[in-house]
Structure 1
Amino acid sequence: MIIIICIVLAIFCFVMVGKMGKNDRNRLEYFKKTNTDLYNKYKDAFDSYPSDYSGVKLTVEMVESRLLPGEVIHHSYSLPRFYNKDGNLFVLTDKRLIYAAFKLSKREIKSIPYNKIENIDITSKTIGADLKVKSKEEKVEIYFNKFHQQYLNNFYEMLTEKQLNQSSKAEE
């Protein structure tokens, strides 16, 4: 009897998650049409996990409120909430790496200016990779699954380029 209840409960949860994901995808399509500029600015984040539109939109609003005047966004990536139960957004601007997260009881934003980055590492895993960015003050770890390899490449290339540019400026 317990097994039957567990199976029914699992099916119910699967159906509800599917419906919520479809609802978020429908809202994302509406958002694309009505907020074209904001969608294009964070296109990679919305497209990296389209069935979590609500979570991505919330973290985008957090980042938008913290951008410096004239700061330009180059890349963004959203980590699915089921990965660590937080809404996560990672943004590369012309000035820094920004990490925004909302948790059940708090919101968090971290920022690492490119001239403060000390180390960039990639750790490959069976189903993805971790990109670790460290400064003296902060550490940001970003998980990319195999389906998001293009986002990993974009982040790694830009972070490495910015770090090398900062190193060459320091040597001059």
Structure 2
Amino acid sequence: MIQMILIELLLFSRSEEVISIIKLIFSFDEPVENISGFALGHIDVIFGEKTISSRNKIPDQSMMLFVTVTDLLDGYRKFYLSSKIEEYTCIGADSSFSISFKKANGNNISVEAGGEFLCEVNKNLLAKSIFEASSNFINRYINKLSKDDPVAEDLITFFFRFQRIL
């Protein structure tokens, strides 16, 4: 049975009067009770009718989810704040699956997953969505890690650093 850890990133991209939603789902293939900070799982990226996923790929593209969320928080924060960084790619830890962000017109960010273009969204909305999704992830799963797991401390540290850009 697949235990889903839902992290929803709701990003609204306006194209005339159409509002589209991007949803990221972080999931583990096994039930989650006590887990390691290096537990492997998957990312599914859903935009409209399209789903791009790290699952069921050859070679396997499962990734360390806690490490990947930490990287996403740190990397997007640096990308957001810098006028020199034009692109940021979050590659799943121990995986080749990636989500890329490129600066586009104005305050928009072009989003790609698994090498495929998904949409353009406002950088502030994207930051708020990443923060909310990370907050939900932390609130739901941080207590499932052992208290001395170094991944937990890193995740919390980068979460609070990210919060400062909002």
Q: TM-score range by the shorter chain?
A: 0.3 to 0.5
- Higher normalized strand content (fraction of residues): 2
More helix by share: 1
TM-score (normalizing by structure 2): 0.35
Q: Which one has a bigger Cα radius of gyration?
A: 1
Question: TM-score if structure 1 supplies the norm length?
Answer: 0.34
State the structure with bigger RCO (CA 8 A, min sep 6), 1 or 2.
2
